[in-house]
């Protein structure tokens, strides 16, 4: 550790966001960068703790104190190597991770006296910024290159799904020498990195340069192939020794109230991919366009997906009467897009119905306040009498969360067991499909400690395995599943593991 008083000398700083009035006019990333010098000053704040909680807070077990010090010393290439030793895609997590490492940083527990004798909280090291900066430096310096395997095996692995879990597994397995084919039902590779997360958080050129690296390493990509529909499970089984399901968990929670199917009510995942396609220059048929320009809008939900809808809505020009309602007792977390139009954000709001304007379009939303009570360890929701309200709106976006992986086709044909949250026994996909007709249970594909499903040789990773989560977890799952697949095929493995993350699961 180079500077043992850095955390007292320097305050936590982040580079400024681009000005609101400028950034709402385009879809480029709203973040800016520090200079190398400013970043080194921030890295100097790291105390190199004996027990680095940051490292344990990171699902990937990133070696944070090590690369903080290397950055402080100006050893950027070594910092990049340390970063890549646990994370295949630090330029993704450096941009869009909610940074549990920073929440865990020991500095968040410290207070100090300012020059004016006021007690000041010492904030966490700006770990995520440092991560992003190191990886960008790696790209601009040309240090990040393809690392094709030096020896090849005769094993073939099919990865279904090209989100961060599938990509991380593909890179690890290819580097272990296997023939890897990634199947993707969409026309572009990247999963939610490309067709969920907007460009203003993660520009797509950042994703495509990584995909090029994987391609150069020898990973084969096959787009527009919906496995289970365009390619049968039998064909897959016959051509590959192992299969990894990295299909995500994109089955959305539905809004089951009167008016949910009116014109102007849209699922977030019908809107967001379309916005990203538009930014990518694809032509969207006029009749399919979802355009919030000059309209009043309500977003239901308080997570990432809702915030991403908001950012797109801001850029489409729906400047007035933007509301965001969350059902649970948590005001939607403020993000940079919230400062762009300052929407009316409320927690504890239950939507009761969406009313028709007489022509089949949305006219207004009727809601009521609710109160949550803990009854014998179970949270129960009660309407607050007299709190009913009606607001007029032109559009409603549904960002109510996700139930689990899509069941039709692949999952059903494979017949892998599913685990339903709250149910004791695992169930076959057909049984879960039946349940979905009456209730909306959250479910995942069952796996053992080796990421293997109930079917021999079929593995699962990412959101399909753990439920809708984070990019950092998807990368971790992809890496760990790759190690288990390598071991299954070869009887031993050369791939690394990050056991710390298992402690935190
Ligand atoms: C709108 C939105 C914003 C988000 N923002 C953030 C964020 O800022 N930070 C963060 O950390 N996390 C964020 N998340 C969560 C994060 O994106 C996911 O946790 C992560 O992408 C999961 O990775 P995955 O590889 O498991 O699945 P996905 O990224 O969902 O990829 C799965 C892929 O599998 C493909 N597929 C499915 N079935 C088949 C089939 N039968 N044949 C072929 N292909 C198939 C799908 O088309 C998809 O491309 C966000 C999620 C959403 C929805
Ligand atoms: S917990 Fe914070 S101060 Fe301690 S090593 Fe990690 S980043 Fe540095």
pLDDT-above-90 percentage for the chain: 87
pLDDT at 378: 87
Q: Give the bridge partners for 39, in sequence order.
A: none
Mutate to test the pocket of ligand 1, among 191, 274, 313, 464 (most ligand atoms within 8 A of CB): 191
pLDDT tens column, 426-474: 999 999 999 999 999 999 999 999 999 999 999 999 999 999 999 999 9
Residue 504 has pLDDT above 50, yes or no: no
Is it the case that residue 501 has pLDDT exceeding 60?
no
| Per-residue pLDDT, 110 | 75
Task: Tell me which residues have their CB closer than 6 angstroms to ligand 2.
Answer: 46-49, 52-54, 64-65, 68, 105-107, 125, 127
Higher pLDDT, 381 or 331: 381
Question: For a substitution probing ligand 2, which of 1, 2, 47, 112 has the most ligand atoms within 8 Å of its CB?
Answer: 47
Name the closest ligand to CA 247: 1
pLDDT digits (tens, 9 = 90+) for 237-270: 999 999 999 999 999 999 999 999 999 999 999 9
Lowest mean pLDDT among 104-118, 136-150, 268-282, 405-419: 104-118
> How would you label 24-50 residue by residue, b for 16+ Cβ within 10 Å and e otherwise?
beebebbbeebeeeebbbbbbbbbeee
pLDDT tens digits along 163-181: 999 999 999 999 999 999 9
Of the bound ligands, which one is closest to the alpha carbon of residue 464? 1
Decide if pLDDT at 298 tops 90.
yes
Which atom of ligand 2 lies closest to the CA of 47? 3
Cα separation, 482 vs 484, whole angstroms: 5
Instruction: Give 187-215 pLDDT, tens digit per residue.
Output: 999 999 999 999 999 999 999 999 999 99
- What does the pLDDT look like over 77-92, one tens digit per residue? 999 999 999 999 999 9
Shortest-distance Cα residue to atom 34 of ligand 1: 161
pLDDT of residue 320: 74
Are the C-beta atoms of 126 and 103 separated by less than 8 Å? no
Give phi and psi for 454, each to the nearest 5: -70, -10
CATH top-level class of 6-141: mainly alpha
Which of 197, 244, 303, 447 has most ligand 1 atoms within 8 Å of CB, for mutation? 197
pLDDT at 37 over 60: yes
Q: Where in the chain is the domain with CATH 3.50.50.60?
A: 156-251+403-504, 257-400
In the chain, list all ranges with CATH 1.10.1060.10. 6-141
Q: In whole numbers, what is the pLDDT of the chain averaged over residues?
A: 94
pLDDT at 503: 43
Distance 207 CA to ligand 1 centre (A): 13
Mean pLDDT of 139-167: 98
What distance in Å separates the CA atoms of residue 226 and residue 199, rounded to the nearest whole number? Answer: 25
Q: Which pLDDT belongs to residue 96?
A: 97
β-strand pairing of 220-222 with 179-183:
parallel
For residue 393, give the 3-state DSSP assignment: coil
Q: Is 243 helix (H, G, I), strand (E, B) or coil?
A: strand
Does residue 410 surpass a pLDDT of 70? Answer: yes
Residue 500 has what pLDDT? 54
Total residue length of the chain: 505
- Candidates 413, 415, 421, 401; CA nearest to 468 is 401
Q: Evaluate whether 93 touches 102 at the Cβ level (below 8 Å).
A: no
Instruction: Give the per-residue pLDDT at 376.
Output: 86
Query: In 10 A of CB 287, how many CB atoms?
Result: 5
Region 12-19: mean pLDDT is: 94
Q: For the domain bounded by 257-400, which CATH number is listed?
A: 3.50.50.60
Which pLDDT band, with edges at 50, 70 and 90, does 319 fall under? low
CATH class of the region 156-251+403-504: alpha beta
């Amino acid at each position: 550790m180079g500077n043992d008083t850095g955390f007292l000398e320097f305050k936590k700083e982040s580079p400024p966001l681009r000005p609101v009035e400028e950034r709402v006019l385009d879809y480029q990333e709203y973040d800016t960068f520090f200079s190398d010098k400013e970043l080194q000053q921030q890295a100097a704040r790291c105390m190199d703790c004996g027990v680095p909680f940051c490292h344990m807070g990171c699902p990937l077990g990133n070696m944070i104190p090590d690369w903080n010090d290397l950055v402080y010393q100006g050893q950027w290439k070594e910092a990049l190597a340390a970063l890549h030793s646990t994370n295949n895609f630090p330029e993704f997590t450096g941009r869009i991770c909610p940074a549990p490492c920073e929440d865990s940083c020991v500095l968040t527990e410290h207070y100090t006296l300012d020059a004016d004798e006021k007690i000041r909280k010492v904030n966490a090291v700006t770990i995520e910024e440092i991560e992003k900066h190191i990886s960008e430096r790696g790209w601009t310096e040309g240090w990040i290159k393809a690392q094709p395997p030096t020896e090849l095996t005769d094993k073939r692995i099919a990865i279904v799904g090209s989100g961060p879990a599938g990509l991380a597994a593909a890179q690890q397995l290819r580097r272990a020498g296997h023939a890897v084919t990634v199947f993707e039902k969409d026309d572009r590779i990247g999963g939610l990195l490309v067709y969920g997360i907007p460009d203003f958080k993660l520009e797509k050129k950042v994703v495509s340069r990584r995909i090029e690296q994987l391609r150069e390493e020898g990973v084969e990509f096959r787009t527009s192939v919906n496995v289970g529909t365009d390619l049968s499970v039998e064909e897959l089984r016959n051509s590959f020794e192992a299969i990894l399901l990295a299909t995500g968990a994109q089955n959305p929670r539905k809004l089951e109230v009167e008016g949910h199917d009116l014109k102007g009510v849209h699922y977030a995942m019908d809107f967001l991919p379309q916005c990203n396609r538009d930014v990518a220059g694809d032509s969207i048929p006029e009749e399919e366009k979802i355009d919030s320009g000059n309209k009043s809008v309500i977003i239901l939900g308080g997570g990432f997906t809702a915030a991403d809808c908001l950012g797109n809505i801001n850029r489409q020009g729906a400047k007035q009467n933007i509301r965001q309602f969350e059902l649970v007792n948590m005001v939607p977390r403020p993000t940079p897009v919230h400062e762009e139009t300052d929407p009316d954000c409320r927690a504890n709001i239950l939507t009761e119905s969406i009313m028709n304007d007489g022509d089949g379009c949305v006219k207004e939303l009727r809601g009521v306040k609710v109160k949550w009570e803990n009854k014998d360890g179970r949270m129960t929701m009660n309407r607050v009498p007299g709190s009913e309200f009606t607001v007029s709106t032109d559009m409603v976006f549904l960002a109510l969360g996700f139930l689990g992986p899509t069941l039709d086709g692949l999952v059903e044909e494979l017949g892998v067991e599913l685990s339903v949250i709250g149910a004791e026994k695992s169930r076959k996909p057909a049984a879960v499909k039946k349940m979905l007709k009456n209730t909306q249970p959250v479910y995942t594909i069952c796996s053992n400690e080796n990421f293997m499903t109930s079917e021999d040789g079929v593995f699962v990773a990412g959101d399909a395995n753990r439920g809708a989560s984070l990019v950092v977890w998807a990368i971790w799952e992809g890496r760990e599943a790759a190690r288990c697949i390598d071991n299954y095929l070869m009887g031993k493995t050369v791939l690394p593991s990050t056991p710390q993350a298992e402690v935190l699961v």
